[in-house]
Amino acid sequence: QVQLVESGGGLVQPGGSLSLSCAASGFTFSVYGMSWYRQAAGKERELVASITSTGLATYYANSVKGRFTLSRDNAKNTVYLRMNSLKPEDTAVYYCNGAAWGNSYWGQGTQVTVSS
């Protein structure tokens, strides 16, 4: 069974940091590109960051570039998102996604709330 399980969300003050993890199972993680998306209340889901299967190349949305860092550990079937200098506009449900060969798998999401 394919599973992507996000963890690490919570409440953090503006300017603070938070780390998210996504544990994958049920598919060949090492050949899948992995991404983090987020969806704020009343908004469309948007791509935050992505990483190639090897972890040698990354993409970041302009809104998070320089603040967020995406990484993966293929030995652990896990992808991470380190979020620094958080802003209220980063508040959203964050979703983990894996894609390859026309397949696309989603986690259930984890809530990140940035508020004082």
Report pLDDT digits (tens) over 31-49. 999 999 999 999 999 999 9
Burial 25-48 (b: 16+ CB within 10 A, else e): eebebeebbbbbbbeeeeeeeeeb
Q: What is the pLDDT of residues 70-99, one digit of tens each?
A: 999 999 999 999 999 999 999 999 999 999
Sort 66 into a burial class: Cβ within 10 Å, 0-12 / 13-18 / 19+.
Answer: exposed
Band (pLDDT 50/70/90 cuts) for residue 101 is: confident
